[in-house]
Amino acid sequence: MEGVFSAAKSSTSPAALRIVVAGDHGTGKSSLIITAATECFPTNIPPVLPPTRLPEDLFGEHVPITLIDTSSSLENREELVDELRRADAVVLIYACDEPSTLDRLSTFWLPELRRLEVKVPIIVAGCKLDLRDEQQAFSLELVMSPIMQQFREIETCIECSAYKHIQIPEVFYYAQKAVLHPTAPLFDQEAQTLKPRCVRALKRIFILCDHDRDGALSDAELNDFQVKCFNAPLQPSEIVGVKRVVQEKLPEGVSENGLTLTGFLFLHALFIEKGRLETTWTVLRKYGYNNDIRLGDDQLLAPVKITPDQSMELTSEAVEFLRGAFTKFDSDGDGALNAHELDDLFSTAPESPWNEAPYANAVAKDALGGLSLDEFLSQWASMTTIDPVFSIENLIYIGYAGDPSSAVRVKGLVDLKKQGSVRNVFFQCWFNLFKICFDIK
C-alpha cells in the first residue's frame, strides 16, 4: 500500500499554528522548547520563554509553528488561561522522574482544560526521560490507557529527553499532525469505525468519482481520483495491489466493475488505523470539506444582501433538479418519499436537514408518512426562504452540480405584488362566476 493515495499538502491547511506548552513547574517545558528550536540543550533558562518559532522546514507541511511557554504560578494564572484559549494544540508536560506530575495530569490539568472549554488536540509528553530510575518498571501504554479512555481529547502520548535529544521533534510533529489531520472528526476510537459524517462525505466523493454510475470505481476512475487528490497517477501494479488488499479482507469491497463503495470506505478506515490520517484529510479537503466535515464557505453561495422586502427563492433550474432527485429516490414509485427514501436522499449530507426544527414536521405527509412531490418542493422552498446558504449547501450534498448562484434568485416586492395581483384576479373570477350562477338560479 505504500505510495498509493500518498497525501500532499492540503491547500486548506492553516497559515500558522500556535502550540501552547503547559504543565507543573520544573517539568522541563522551557528545555523542551529551546531544544526543539535550536537542537541544543540550554544551560541558562529564563523563567518563561518568549514565543518561539520552529524552523519552517522542520516538518513536511511547511506550516509556521510558534511554541508558547507558560508559567504554572498563581500570579500568572490569567495569562496562562488566555494562552490556552488561543491555542491550536496543547502539549501537556510531566516529568518522567516525578510520578506526581503525571498524576496531576488527570487530577488537575485535563479537568482544568475541560472547565476552560479548551477544545483542541492535546499531546501528553513526558520530559526528562534520561532521569527516570532504570530499576523502576514502567509501561507508558498501561499508565496512559485509562487516562486516554477518560480524556479522549488526548491524541498521542510520548516520552522524550531534551538533554539526550530523544524524540524532541516528534512531540511537536504529533501536535502539528493532530491539528492538520485530527482523528476525532473521522474515527470513533472506541468503536474502531469511521464516524457517520465521515462515511457520508466519502460516499458523496465516491459517487462524484463514479462517472459511469455503475456502483464501482474502475481502474480509470481510480486513477482520475488519484490524480485529482494527489497530483500523481497510479501504476497498474498499484491498482492491482489496492484491490487485492481490499478483496482479501473484504470480498464485497471489489466487484467485476472495480472498487465498490464498501471497499472505498474500508480503505480509508485502514489508512486511519495505520495512522495515515493525512490521506483521508487530503481527499476530503480536495473536495471542499473543512475540519467539521462540511463544505467550506468557498464551496457555497456567496453572501447576498437582501432588503427587508426581499427574500430568496429557488430558480427553475434548481426546481427541475429537485424533481429529478424526487423521482430517482422514489424507489417504490408510489409518488411519495417515505422516511427510508428521504434518508437515502440525504445519505451524502452530514445529516438530514429536516430532522430538526424548524423543518421537522413542517409539511403535511400522506397516510403512510410519505412526502408528495408538492410537499417536497414546498419544504425546499421554505428552507431557501429561511436560510438560503443552508439550502444551497444541501442541494450540493445531494448532487446539484451547477454553480451555487444558479440555484437561487432574489424575490423582490415587485414579484410579490404581481403574485398578489394574480391571486386577486383568480379569486375575483371565481367570485363573479359563483355570483352569476347564483343569479341564474
- Segment 97-117, tens digit of pLDDT: 999 999 999 999 999 999 999
Query: What is the spatial distance between Cα 55 and Cα 41, in angstroms, rounded to a whole number?
Result: 16
Which architecture characterizes domain 193-293 according to CATH? Answer: Orthogonal Bundle (1.10)
For residue 301, is pLDDT > 60?
A: yes
pLDDT exceeds 90 at position 428: no
* CATH class name, domain 300-414: mainly alpha
Contact 70, 28 (CB under 8 A): no
16 confidence band (pLDDT: 50, 70, 90): confident
Q: What is the pLDDT of residue 133?
A: 81
For residues 62-69, average pLDDT:
93
**Taking 70 as the threshold, does the pLDDT of residue 69 lie above it?**
yes
Domains 193-293 and 300-414 share a fold: yes
| Mean predicted confidence (pLDDT) in 135-158 | 88
By DSSP bridging, strand 258-260 and strand 122-127 are unpaired
Q: Write down the pLDDT at residue 12.
A: 46
- What pLDDT does residue 5 have? 60
430 CB-side CA count, 13 A: 5
**What integer is the mean pLDDT of 62-81?**
92
Of 14-28, 132-146, 320-334, give the lowest mean pLDDT range: 132-146
Q: Is 270 left (phi over 0), alpha (psi -120 to 50) or beta?
A: alpha
Look at residue 439 in the predicted model and tell me its pLDDT: 44
* Residue extents of the structural domains in the chain: 17-180, 193-293, 300-414
pTM of the model: 0.79
Read off the C-alpha cell for 1: 500500500
- Minimum mean pLDDT among 36-40, 115-119, 187-191: which range? 187-191
Q: Quickly state the pLDDT bin for 308 (edges 50, 70, 90).
A: confident
Q: How far is CA 38 from the centre of its chain?
A: 35
Is it the case that residue 195 has pLDDT exceeding 70?
A: yes
Architecture of domain 17-180: 3-Layer(aba) Sandwich (3.40)
- 47 pLDDT higher than 50: yes
Q: How confident is residue 412, by pLDDT bands cut at 50, 70 and 90?
A: confident
207-218: pLDDT as tens digits:
999 999 999 999
